Amino acid sequence: MSQKYGLPYQRKTVFSKPYADGDGNELLAIFQDKFAYFYIWKTENGSLGIEINSHLEGTALINIRYEDKNASSTNTSEKEKIFMDGL
């Protein structure tokens, strides 16, 4: 992702004790539910996010999110209109 979109706008990698980034036990940290990874890239059309969390024993949950600027703006204005119409 960094090769295509450059450095992330936001990033966070969390290992809980006794694990640490680069210790060679990253897969074990996932298995033990001691790991989370979250990166966001901004693009000219919106943003792209990847989140990896420990899920069930030995598995990880991977979420990929894309937010389009135009669709997001339309969604916000429609929600505001619905709210104002409900008053």
User: pLDDT-derived band of residue 83, with 50, 70 and 90 as boundaries?
Assistant: confident
Residue identified by tokens 């966001």 is: 40
CA distances, 56 to each of 1, 7, 11, 38, 78 (Å) = 26, 30, 23, 18, 38
Summarised one tens digit per residue, pLDDT across range 19-51 is: 998 899 988 887 788 888 899 999 888 899 999
Range of the domain at 20: 2-86
Q: Looking at the 3D structure of the chain, how many domains does it have?
A: 1
pLDDT at position 60 is 77
Calculate what percentage of the chain has a pLDDT beyond 90: 23
